[in-house]
Amino acid sequence: METFDYVIIGAGSAGCVLANRLSASGATVCLLEAGPRDRNPFIHIPAGFIKTLVNPNLNWLYKTEPGLGTAGRSIATPRGKTLGGSSSINGHIYNRGQQLDFNTWGQLGNRGWSFEEVVPYFKKSERRIGYGDDKFRGRNGELLVTDVTEPDQVSDAFIKGVVNLGIPLSQDYNGAIQEGVNYFQRTIFSGRRISAAKAFLEPAHKRKNLKILTNRHVTEIIFDKRTAIGVKYLLGGVEQEIHARKEVLLSAGAIASPQLLQVSGVGNPDLLNKIGVSTICALPGVGENLSDHYGVRLAARVRGVQTINERTRGLRLAAELTNYLVFRKGVLAQSPGVVLALCKSNKVYDRPDLQVIFAPASYKEDAAYKLDNFPGITIGSWPMRPESRGYVHALSRNMKDKPLIQPNYLKAEADQQLLLSGMKLSRQMLQTPELAKWYQEETTPGKSLQGDDELLDYARKHGTTIFHLMGTCKMGPSYDQNAVVNDELKIHGLDGIRVVDTSIIPTAHSANTNAVTIMIAEKASDMILGNQPLPAVTL
């Protein structure tokens, strides 16, 4: 049985950062990942995400419980299962979130997590190539963040039309102002995905004090009374152990982290009793407070202009493949969407509450990421800070059994109304004079659906996750009944263990989750090593 200073569970965005930073200190580190190494070529080709989202070798392929908000449907919920985790299968968007998101964390009693205090940790990991104020943007980190390199005329027209609707042109939505419309900033460089594994593990993997073990599914955290001392994992069906001298770091994500705690005896005693697990630490908040973005896509047929739909068929696809292999350019080098709009549903609000994405492509309705046979465009929208909350509950003491995931999408009336506002705004954005020369007709849901009840019914039947699950090991002070970790990410009532991933996010976050997860891990690394926090920025 091997022993390391630190044992990290999960090689996703957080786990990769932790492995790099902790091993750089000279400490011995073991990084355990349930999935394989990231050698599948579709991981590294930006457009290959369509393949990874349905590949069981790279993806946990979770499904939610049916709910009223989804018209009784189970929603497919991809989570990465390879080095890099979900950063190896996501849509590449680099979007940090709003100032008030982090200030709210601080107001909830979490010291050190205000916007001014977390900006230095965003900067630390980032190597921004493109415009940005250096007060907010990093230039020397490992994670390459670039601009869209091949803008197209449909997306250009979309942006101009949105600006003429009164939504400002964003100069840098990861800077001082998180509002407006422009092309994405993304984690792509020279036509290749920059996952957390590429950015943080690749430079560190040869360190003798870092051991990266793939295909190791952690089944239990080992406790000595209330101190975590190691983990059990499966390799080829045989259970083995690894011990930690200092800390076990749980970075398995918003689904697996609470599940692993529950099967290890940490959680709501009633649930633990149901699955036959003795309670080590009673924490009713484990697995609760689940938040996710739930969105609806509208699609339209266009004419007189080429979209990705035609560029990926027949001889054109062969040309695109050649363009990618020779020059690392073209459709295969792009993210799925290209334009991001951060909007207010009401102009009197102090900050955006709707996120909108635009793509010069369209997918068949209810098909698994298959493009339409005609020229098409798509716009998707969702409430940034949904009020609906769900839960993740282990159904047995066996980690091989997937947990019950109930996000309770659209349970809150406010989420329903805001989603309707997003759908109506999306229609306005598709029908601007700037797009008029190409716009032909709305294909989904179709212009026949106009009333709020009809649109909401469509949203329930056809909406989906935006893959931003968070909150199931909530960060908060000990007097918060639902808090699982404190502001140093240590689990309340336990020693030798921290949670470092999206599950600690206490409130719904106004952005995609890769950037914030990397920031959390950067900050956690300093905490774990006992380093002084980086100096806060002055606004």
92, 293, 393, 468: which one is catalytic? 468
Let me know if residue 511 belongs to a domain. Answer: yes
Distance separating alpha carbons of residues 515 and 528, to the nearest angstrom: 20
Q: Is residue 468 part of a domain?
A: yes
Return the closest-CA partner of residue 255 out of 395, 405, 375. Answer: 405
User: What are the tens digits of pLDDT across the range 233-274?
Assistant: 999 889 999 999 999 999 999 999 999 999 999 999 999 999
Q: Let me know: does 88 contact 403? Beta carbons within 8 Å.
A: no
Q: Is residue 516 part of a domain?
A: yes
pLDDT, mean of residues 500-523: 99
Q: Which residue has the tokens 């492509």?
A: 361
Examine the residue annotation and report whether 468 is marked as an active-site residue of this protein.
yes
pLDDT for the residue 367: 61
Q: For 10-19, 71-80, 329-338, 498-507, which range has the lowest pLDDT when averaged over its residues? A: 329-338
> For the domain that residue 76 is a member of, what is the CATH number?
3.50.50.60
Intra-chain end-to-end CA distance of the chain, in Å: 50
Confidence of residue 539 (pLDDT cuts 50, 70, 90): confident
Query: DSSP readout, 269-315?
Result: HHHHHHTT---SEE-TTTT-SBB--EEEEEEEEE-SS--HHHHTSHH
Residue 539 located in a structural domain? no
CA pair distance 413, 416, nearest whole angstrom: 5
Domain of residue 37 covers 2-529
pLDDT tens, 267-322?
999 999 999 999 999 999 999 999 999 999 999 999 999 999 999 888 888 999 99
Q: Is residue 519 in some structural domain?
A: yes
Closest CA to 129 of 120, 140, 116, 118: 140
Q: Is residue 538 one of the residues assigned to a domain?
A: no
Residue-wise pLDDT for 388-397, tens only, equals: 999 999 999 9
Average pLDDT over residues 512-532: 99
Residue 119: inside a domain: yes
- Concatenated DSSP letters of 187-233: SEETTEE--HIIIIITTTTT-TTEEEE-S-EEEEEEEETTEEEEEEE
Residue 60: φ, ψ to 5°: -70, -20
Q: Which of 248, 278, 250, 253 lies closest to 263 in space, CA to CA?
A: 278
Residue 178: strand, helix, or coil:
coil
How many structural domains is the chain composed of?
A: 1
